[in-house]
Amino acid sequence: MLVLSPTSADVHGAPAGSTCLPYRRPSRTEAEAAVQTLIGWAGDDPRREGLQATPGRVVRAYEEWFAGYGQDPAAMLERTFGEVAGYDEMVVLRDIPVDSVCEHHMAAIRGVAHVAYLPRDRVVGISKLARLVDVYSRRLQIQERLTAEIAEELERTLRPRGVAVIIEATHACMSSRGVRKHGASLVTRRLTGVFSTGELRREVLAALSGGLAG
């Protein structure tokens, strides 16, 4: 039986911006035992040859899938550049792969994120935008919160004139169980600052959807 007991020791050393749980983080041995329990509950024998190494593999996979809990989103945006030669148009990065996990059924969320911001005086390397999406994606998520978190971190750290984030994704919790509807995609978006209303809103939505308004 796994007991999650409150303690403050587990949050020490966690990076700023990471999600700190109010209980003791289970050990690797406990995590592997939990996987064995689920295998048995599913109806198979965790002792058989083909499944003996599965708990260890699953735990190692979890370390990758949920690596975002141990990373600081703000750190991804720390290094900025001011030598932009007077550039004052929006910066748009489209089709950033999103690989996340639904927190309700722990099923896959797969899709793309489109990110734009209008710099005030500094810009950030485009790879950092992709890394920011990855940090928040590699946590248990719902798509609406994922969209908001990416936009809010850009707003908080870069202080741009406006931010826009759109995510288009499919959810295995909808296609593999329940209603079993394949091919349906969920679209969520968050727009802030000058992108929230008016002509710039229309322009950034066109840019993020693939049509660059002139």
Q: What is the pLDDT of residues 95-137, one digit of tens each?
A: 999 999 999 999 999 999 999 999 988 899 999 999 999 999 9
For position 182, what pLDDT does the model report? 73
pLDDT score recorded for residue 23? 78
CA 193 to chain centre: 22
Q: Taking residues 73-89, what's their average pLDDT?
A: 85
Q: How much is the average pLDDT of 22-36?
A: 91
- Can you tell me the distance from the alpha carbon of 100 to that of 109, in angstroms, rounded to the nearest whole number? 5
Q: What pLDDT sits at residue 24?
A: 86
User: Alpha-carbon distance 25 to 31, whole Å?
Assistant: 10
What's the pLDDT at 171? 86
Q: What is the pLDDT of residue 214?
A: 39
pLDDT band at 180 (very low <50, low <70, confident <90, very high): low
Confidence at 21, pLDDT banded by 50, 70, 90: low
Strands 140-141 and 91-102: parallel
> Quick check: 173 pLDDT over 80?
no
Tell me what pLDDT residue 12 has. 37
Query: For position 122, what pLDDT does the model report?
Result: 86
Query: pLDDT at position 178, please?
Result: 64
Q: What is the mean pLDDT of residues 128-149?
A: 97
pLDDT at 114: 97
Any bridge partners for residue 102, and if so which? 141
Q: Which residues are catalytic?
A: 102-105, 143, 171, 173
Arithmetic mean of pLDDT, 188-206: 95
What is residue 184's three-state secondary structure?
coil
Rounded CA separation 183/197 (Å): 31
H or E, element range at 114: strand 108-118
**Any residues with CB less than 8 A from the CB of 48 and at least 6 apart, and which?**
none
Residue 162: pLDDT band by 50, 70, 90 thresholds?
very high
pTM recorded for the entire structure: 0.83
Q: Is the pLDDT of residue 14 over 50?
A: no
DSSP string, 58-82: HHHHHHHHTGGGGS-GGGGG--EE-
